[in-house]
């Protein structure tokens, strides 16, 4: 199966031993930030599947994720508006723009160039633990 472009990582306080639905993966910087100090980092291979792009609103409702999964969506892609962005860059952007949450993804990415996409794996068959 064709792999999704990018190098994907998951960070958590416990070792990842199996892929379950709703697993979040992103850059190593995002995974490190999400997992916290001393977290377990694991590289995850992600196969191409039906992808839905969504806007990062800061949280994901389980009901919405389940609905997308029931419609055959295997992966959600979103511009991560928090993890992986250096605090200095974030603070400078917030000083330049009062409501950065209201920005479109394109404008957000321009203002915060280190912002990168993250994924939520809805179909666990599309992801494999690599390391």
Task: Note the pLDDT tens digit of each residue in 55-108.
Answer: 998 899 999 999 999 999 999 999 999 999 999 999 999 999 989 999 999 999
For the chain, domain boundaries: 8-129
Angstrom CA distances, 120 to 89, 94, 110, 126, stand at: 25, 26, 23, 11
pLDDT at residue 1 tops 70: no
* 26-58 pLDDT per residue, tens: 999 999 999 988 899 999 999 988 999 999 988
Sign of the Cα pseudo-torsion (75, 52, 33, 57, in order): negative
What is the pLDDT confidence band of residue 25, given thresholds at 50, 70 and 90?
A: very high
Write down the pLDDT at residue 5. 81
Long-range contacts of 5-11 (CB under 8 A, 24+ apart): 6/46, 6/117, 7/43, 8/43, 8/44, 8/45, 8/46, 8/119, 9/41, 9/42, 9/43, 9/44, 10/35, 10/41, 10/42, 10/44, 11/35, 11/36, 11/39, 11/40, 11/41, 11/42
The structure's pTM equals 0.92
Whole-number Å distance between alpha carbons of 55 and 104: 9
Least confident of 3-7, 79-83, 100-104, 113-117: 3-7
């Amino acid at each position: 199966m064709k792999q999704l472009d990018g190098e994907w990582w998951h960070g958590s306080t416990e070792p990842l031993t199996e892929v379950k639905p709703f697993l979040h993966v992103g850059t190593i910087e995002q995974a490190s930030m999400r997992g916290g100090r001393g977290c377990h980092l694991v590289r995850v291979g992600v196969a191409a599947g039906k992808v839905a792009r969504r806007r990062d609103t800061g949280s994901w409702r389980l009901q919405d994720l389940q609905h997308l999964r029931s419609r055959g969506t295997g992966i959600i892609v979103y511009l991560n508006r928090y993890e992986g962005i250096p605090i200095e860059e974030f603070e400078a952007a917030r000083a330049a723009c009062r409501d950065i949450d209201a920005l479109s993804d394109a404008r957000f990415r321009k203002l915060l160039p280190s912002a990168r996409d993250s994924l939520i794996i809805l179909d666990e068959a599309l992801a494999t633990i690599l390391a």
